[in-house]
Amino acid sequence: MTKLTINTQALNHFEKRLKKVLNAMPAVIGQTAVNHFQENITKRQGVPTNGSLQRFKRRIFENNRGRGRGILNDMGNLVDSIKIISRNSNSVHVGIRASEIPYAEVHQQGGRIAITDKMRKFFWAKYYQYASSAGRARGKRSVSTSREADFWKAMALKRKGSSINIPARPFMDVTPDLEKAILRAIQTEMNQTI
């Protein structure tokens, strides 16, 4: 007759560690998704899909201030607003609160926005800013600056009630690359804890 002894203390210890890992998973998954979405805006300037990068649609008019920056990364507010909204033991919700960044949905899904009086004032201010600097500059800069001034003037002169088309630049899509990153994060967390 063979006697079998089971060390229940070791099993209990393993069970506690496993529960710890499972409780941490929503936070790990959420943070991985947040990092991935932020990198879509800041580093990649597009969304990776099946090993290739689908870049965001370019601006119609590229001004001097925006050169070298990501399309959706002007002041960094959109990037900073991507966060874990809620989580519990078996789910996590990553996103942007519409009250914090109202334009996030338009960038994600695309759409038309109506020109307001406040926008018109902004367009005129930009026109005067670039028109005054065009007179002082010489060479290539004055040509591009006057084009920028013309762009802002055209925007300011749009009819009341007209709208601007914002193309969809989906930066928060669940892609196979995101799923792979989440699986790697889960595996790393499990290897560290267990």
Share of the chain above pLDDT 70, in %: 81
- Per-residue confidence at 112, pLDDT binned at 50, 70, 90? very high
The structure tokens listed for 168 are: 């969809």
pLDDT of residue 172: 86
Confidence of residue 66 (pLDDT cuts 50, 70, 90): low
Closest CA to 82 of 171, 159, 176, 146: 171
What are 138-166's pLDDT values in tens digits?
Answer: 555 555 567 888 888 999 999 888 999 98
Q: What angle do CA 167, 172, 175 make, to 5 degrees?
A: 110
Q: For the packed helices 140-156 and 117-136, what is the interaxial angle rounded to 10 degrees?
A: 160
Q: Which whole number is the average pLDDT over 71-89?
A: 83
Structure-model confidence comparison of residues 99 and 124, the more confident one: 124
Of 68, 44, 74, 39, the closest CA to residue 56 belongs to: 44
Neighbouring-strand partners of residue 55: 46
pLDDT range class, residue 44, cuts 50, 70, 90: low
Those residues whose C-beta lies under 8 Å from the C-beta of residue 103, and which sit 6 or more positions away, are 78
Predicted confidence at residue 115, as pLDDT, reads: 92
pLDDT digits (tens, 9 = 90+) for 82-95: 999 999 888 899 99
